[in-house]
Amino acid sequence: MTDTATAISLLEQAAITVAVEHRAVPLRDGDWDDPDRYAPPERLVVSWTEPPVRPLYGAFVPPLGPPADETALSARGVVWCPDSTYAYMGFEAVRESPAHPWVVYPVSTE
Partner 1 sequence: MSLDRRAMLKASALGVGGLAVATALPADVLPAAHAGPPPTPKFGPDIDPYARYEGQTQCIGTEQPGVAAFKQLLLSHYPGSRNLGILRACGVGGTSEHKEGRAFDWGVYASRPNEAAWAQEVLNWLLGTDQYGNRQALARRFGIMYIIWNRRIWKAYNNPNTWQTYTGSNPHTDHIHFSFGWPGARKETSWWQGSASPQTPHQWSAWTPTANGLASAPAAASWDAKRTDLFAISSAGTLVQRWMVSGGGWGPGSSWHDLGAPPGRRLVHSPVVVSRGPGMLDVFAVANDGAVWQKAYNTSTSWQPWYSLGGKATSAPAAASMDSGHVTVVVRGTSNKLHSRTWRRGQGWTGWSTLAPEAVTSAPALVSHSPGHLDLFVRGSARDCVHKSYVNGRWSGWTSRGGVIADGTTISATSMSPGRFDLFVIGTNNRVYRQVYLKGGWYFANKAWENFGGPANGAVSGVGTTSLHSTHLEVFTRSADGRLYQRWYS
**Distance, CA of 48 to CA of 29 (rounded, Å):** 26
- Which residues would be at the binding site for partner 1 (CB under 8 A)? 10, 13-14, 16-18, 20-26, 29-33, 35, 37, 41-42, 44, 54-62, 87, 89-90, 92, 94, 101-110
CA atoms within 13 A on the CB side of 19: 31
Nearer Cβ to partner 1 (4/105): 105
Nearer to partner 1, 14 or 68 (CB): 14
Q: Could you give the C-alpha distances from 34 to 27, 66, 80, in angstroms and in order? A: 11, 34, 19
| Minimum gap (Å) between residue 71 Cβ and partner 1 | 18
The least CB distance from residue 18 to partner 1, in Å, is 6
Closer residue to partner 1 in complex, CB, 54/66: 54
DSSP 71-96: T-SEEEEEEE-TT--SB-EEEEEE-S
